[in-house]
Amino acid sequence: MSQILAIVGAGGHGRVIADAALECGWGEVVFFDDRFPQLLSTLQWPVLGSLEDLMATLHRYSGIAVGIGNGKTRLSILDRLLERGAPVATVIHPRAWVSSRASLAEGCLIAAGAVVNVGARIGRGGIVNTGATVDHDCDLGPGVHVAPGANVAGSVEIGANAWIGVGASVKQGVRIGSGTVVGAGAAVVSDLPDDIVAVGVPARSRT
């Protein structure tokens, strides 16, 4: 029987997960989105119902992924699924490279062209997006999103729900606090506290 992956959230991030999942061997993809029944499909994939509809039919699916870009929302849904014993899937695009000595928690996406190097730890619901790199011995908390083309050097610690923007770079050994957003193209060369927006070269808090 074909393995079916159900994805929560039929927006752009959900479609990236769908595409990667089919490339790495899932037989079928379906979506659940709270815009149902106004939204019945996304590209060629059907939207079968709302999140609550999925929660009532978890047993029908071989795996479930959360395709929501917002880290807090993604983790909230992911934790509900895990509490229910749902088969939460981590999806790794076949053209990504993940060291066998790295660790990925539940519900991660490693997109095409991404690299996760030896000793790196990616927390639940983490995203290492298209062409991004996470080098050796990094520790990324739950819900962290490393956006396309961003580069995180070795031994970096990133707190829960932080966002590393498109094309940003993070110097080795730096700590980035929970909930902090690093702007596109920024260069982080020293520690950043929780819950700030940091932009520029070098990255500084935007006031």
Residue 186 is part of a domain; what is its CATH number? 2.160.10.10
Domain that holds residue 133: 90-197
Indicate the residue among 50, 73, 89 that finishes a domain.
89
Q: How many domains does the chain contain in total?
A: 2
Output the pTM of the full model: 0.96
Q: Answer yes or no: do 133 and 157 share one domain.
A: yes
The pLDDT assigned to 206 comes to 81
- pLDDT tens sequence across 84-121: 999 999 999 999 999 999 999 999 999 999 999 999 99
CATH number at residue 32: 3.40.50.20
Q: Answer yes or no: do 100 and 190 share one domain.
A: yes
Catalytic residues: 136
- pLDDT tens sequence across 8-48: 999 999 999 999 999 999 999 999 999 999 999 999 999 99
Q: Answer yes or no: do 54 and 109 share one domain.
A: no
Q: Answer yes or no: do 111 and 175 share one domain.
A: yes
**3-class secondary structure for the chain?**
CCCEEEEECCCHHHHHHHHHHHHCCCCEEEEECCCCCCCCEECCEEEEECHHHHHCCHHHCCEEEECCCCHHHHHHHHHHHHHCCCCECCEECCCCEECCCCEECCCCEECCCCEECCCCEECCCCEECCCCEECCCCEECCCCEECCCCEECCCCEECCCCEECCCCEECCCCEECCCCEECCCCEECCCECCCCEEECCCCEECC
Indicate the residue among 89, 117, 146 that finishes a domain.
89
Q: Answer yes or no: do 78 and 62 share one domain.
A: yes
